[in-house]
Structures are given as structure tokens and as C-alpha cells.
Amino acid sequence: MNTELIVLHTTKFGENSIVVHSLSRDYGRRSFLVRGVGKKSMSLFLPLNILEADIAESSKSTLFTARNLSSACSLTGIRNNILKNSMTMFMSEVLYRTIKEGAWEQDLYQWCRKSILTLDAIQSDFSNFHIRFLLELAVTLGFRPESRDLLPFVGDHDGTIKDFMQMSFAESMLIPLNGVTRNEIAEEILRYIEFHTESSVNVNSLKVLREIFA
């Protein structure tokens, strides 16, 4: 089957193969074995790259094989911007740690694809993007939080969270926040997501965002 997938993480498998942990259009959260991967081709598997692939299913293994992989979207707006690249590291890590292998959430793939293309296209004022991403992720996963639901997690930032939830995307990108506040809010929303997914997200790449958006 030909499908489209979003790269969340990769794991080395043997000498020249990798396992691509992905969010797939047709398979949901799924990992695929990719054979014959050299160092030069690893750029194809950067976090949140959108790929087309032919999937070879197996009755003997739950680990299907992905072949004939190619880029479905160039994402030059992301790859030519170190700040956006850092944000995709964060976003992919959140998805990788939050969504369990085998899960298939309705509309999750299309929402994630749209989020990536939006980040790729936006020209400026995207420092708040990851906060909006986390709130939209909670909605897409079915939690649909209201501001009062977040109160036990967000502390003194409940007013700012309410602004994010009530404003349009463009307006929320212009909410004035310093780096410290922005990252405190991101950590608080992550705690909310951890609570509802019963998982420990522990996103290491948030430290990178803390540095570059300080």
C-alpha cells in the first residue's frame, strides 16, 4: 500500500537499516523498517518530514517494511530556519512520547500535517507556535480542555491560557510573552497532557526552545 507518513523518531537497526517511528495517514501511530539507509539519505528522516512510502505488510511480524520513500513536501521554510527546526524537534518528541504505538486517532494525521505546513509557511511571529500546538493537540486527542480544566496545571498563567484558547491563530501568535513565561506555559500544558494520556512525556527538546526563545 502507498501511504503518507510523518517522521517522529528513528532508531538504528543493524548496519544499514532504521526503524522509522511515524504518524501514518493509513496506519496511525506506527513504526516501519527501512532497509539500505546510508548516512547521506538520513536527511530524509528529519523530525516531522512528510514522506510518501510503499508499505509491505507481513503476516509474520508487526513491523512492516517501508520502501521507495520520497519527500511529499519540501519544508524549505522549516529546514532553512534554525528556530523552526528546533520547534519541529520539540513537536515530534511530544507526538512520539504522547501517542502510543498502534493508536489511531481520527483526524490526528491531517491536523498534524496542517500544523507542519503552517509552521513551514509562517514568515514571522511564531515564537508562540508550540504553545498553540500543544493546546490543539489536546483538543485533537479528544480532551477538549476549557480554561477551568487547566487551572490545576497552569497556576498563575490561566489568563494567558484563556487568551490562547479564545483568540484566532494569528492573534495568539502575537501574545507578548518572554522566554521564561512561554516555557513555563509549555511545561504546564505538557503536565495536563501527561495526566490525560497517563504517560511521562519528559520532552528533552523543550530545553532547547528555552534557550533559543529566551
CA distance 214 to 202: 20
Q: Which stretches in the chain have pLDDT values below 70?
A: 40, 201-202, 204-214
Beta-ladder partners of 11? 19
CA distance 5 to 112: 11
The residue type found at 26 is D
**DSSP three-state, residue 83:** helix
CA distance 66 to 116: 22
Q: Are 65 and 32 in contact (CB under 8 A)?
A: yes
Torsion of CA 143, 145, 149, 152, to 10 degrees: 80
Residue closest to 195 by CA, chosen among 131, 156, 151 = 151
Quote the pLDDT of residue 195: 86
Quote the pLDDT of residue 115: 97
Phi then psi for 32, rounded to 5 degrees?
A: -130, 145
Quote the pLDDT of residue 205: 64
Quote the pLDDT of residue 209: 64
Number of CB atoms found within 10 A of residue 159's CB: 9
CA distance 102 to 89: 22
**DSSP three-state, residue 22:** strand
Place of cell 497532557: 193
Q: What's the DSSP call for residue 81? A: -
Spatial neighbors of 5 by CB under 8 A, at least 6 apart, are 20, 22, 23, 24, 25, 27, 30, 32, 50, 51, 53, 66
Q: Are 5 and 66 in contact (CB under 8 A)?
A: yes
